[in-house]
Homo-oligomer: A and B are copies of this chain.
Amino acid sequence: MNKPTLLISALLLLMVWTAKAQTTPPAVVEDFKPSVVNQPGKQYPQVNSEGRVRVQISAPEAHKVQLDISAVKYDLVKDEKGVWTGESAPQDEGFHYYQLWVDGAAVPDPGSLYFYGASRWGSGIEVPAKDQDFYAMKNVPHGQVREIHYFSESNNAMRRCFIYTPPGYDQDLTKRYPVLYLQHGGGEDETGWSNQGRANLIMDNLIAEGKATPFIIVMDNGTWAMPNRPRPNPQAGPNQQARLAQGERPAGPWPPTGWADGFKKTLVEEIIPMVDANFRTLADQPHRAMAGLSMGGMQTRVITLAHPELFSHVGMFSGGSYSPEDVANAPGFKEKIKFLFVSFGSRELENRRAGFGGDPQANTEALKNAGMNTHFYVSPLTAHEWQSWRRSLYEFAQRIFK
């Protein structure tokens, strides 16, 4: 063949190969195992070593069933017994919300445990992560997660929070502890940080390895203290999923006007005094921290800029950053804040979802150059999702109250 003929042949081959690659889905690795957050005894959903999620549901009379995960819907295939099975593309390591569609009905998967996110109780799945050891359940001394009900004057309602007390809290009754106020994201509630985030296991493991100072963590609801949110029903019972939460986004602009102010008032005037009155806290600014993810990070920013006399250690996970202008306009903030931590998932930075008020890494470095003790952390190969926030808490918790 002459050169032009050779070139044309090569191009044709390339085109055929490309077309084949586009139409033939990649082979699925058949090493699926049940998800570790399945309901007891349930074999599905499953996850394979690529991070694909496979679901299965019996629906003999249905004509269309789909798996809906990470904003993509995957068609399932029906067998002769009426059982539908199918899997997703590979997912990032860590925790993901998902749901099923059965003939147009969006429903939870009957095989999974349920988690509050996207303003609903729905299915969740764990894609095993290379670093999953830091949030694994181990035979180490464990703290407690306590469900607390208290009356809020400003909301004129009963509220609920979960409070983590570290191992040993009930042994040495003379010891007092620092406190971290740790907030969930939009569409989530006070159950998120322990259910999806595994905040208590992260702390138990860090403390067992001597890597973190033991402290109390207060996980309250940052959503329904906002103005004009419907009240939770006071008949709703205890120890249960969002009974005292309101996760639906209201109509109108988001976040609504005053969204952080409502929670600021509740936190500063009611939650902190309630915690200091009922737990053995070190009730002063040097021993009080605040952090949050996404919307909770934005609330952390607004609240700590307004009240640097209350908090010394601050963490903002996937929620933006503090700009030099923020700090310049917040009297006392620069001097009083002993540690400022800002983090994102690497895919958030790639996707420029980290915009909120300027480049977060540049902002954080500018504050460091101006003399503040800051730390910028990037979670490898994760997006705006719980694996980023577990890792952020793990990094943050080792650096506070030292």
User: Which residues of A approach B to under 8 Å, CB–CB?
Assistant: 36-37, 39-41, 57-65, 82, 100, 102-108, 110, 113-115, 119-122, 126, 132, 135-139, 142, 144-151, 158, 162, 170-171, 173, 189, 191, 194-195, 198, 200-201, 224, 230, 232-243, 245-248, 278-279
Task: Tell me, in angstroms, the Cα distance from A41 to B236 when the chains sit together.
Answer: 13
A-B contacts, 6 listed (Cβ < 8 Å): A40-B189, A40-B246, A110-B122, A145-B147, A146-B146, A162-B239
Task: Tell me, in angstroms, the Cα distance from A107 to B110 when the chains sit together.
Answer: 6
**B104 & A107 in contact (Cβ 8 Å cutoff):** no
Output the least CB separation between A7 and chain B (Å).
51
Residues of chain B lying within 8 A (CB to CB) of residue A135: 237
Instruction: Contacts A41-B247, A114-B121, A239-B194 given; indicate if A63 touches B61 (C-beta within 8 A).
Output: yes
Copies of this chain: 2
**A37 & B237 in contact (Cβ 8 Å cutoff):** yes
Residues of chain B lying within 8 A (CB to CB) of residue A171: 278
| Known interface pairs A41-B247, A195-B237; 16 further A-B residue pairs with C-beta atoms within 8 A, sorted by A's residue number | A39-B120, A40-B232, A57-B105, A58-B105, A59-B105, A62-B102, A105-B107, A113-B121, A113-B242, A113-B243, A138-B158, A144-B148, A171-B278, A194-B238, A195-B238, A195-B240
Residues of chain B lying within 8 A (CB to CB) of residue A58: 104-106
The 10 closest A-B pairs by CB, nearest first: A41-B248, A59-B105, A194-B239, A36-B235, A61-B104, A62-B103, A61-B103, A142-B149, A60-B104, A107-B107
Residues of chain B lying within 8 A (CB to CB) of residue A162: 239
Residues of chain B lying within 8 A (CB to CB) of residue A103: 59-63, 102-103
**B40 & A145 in contact (Cβ 8 Å cutoff):** no
Report which residue of A110, A151, A158 has the largest number of chain B beta carbons within 10 angstroms of its beta carbon. Answer: A110
Instruction: Contacts A37-B243, A137-B238, A142-B148 given; indicate if A120 touches B110 (C-beta within 8 A).
Output: yes
Output the least CB separation between A326 and chain B (Å).
32
**A106 & B110 in contact (Cβ 8 Å cutoff):** yes
Task: Tell me, in angstroms, the Cα distance from A151 to B167 when the chains sit together.
Answer: 14
Instruction: Contacts A144-B147, A148-B142, A240-B113 given; indicate if A108 touches B108 (C-beta within 8 A).
Output: yes
**B230 & A170 in contact (Cβ 8 Å cutoff):** no
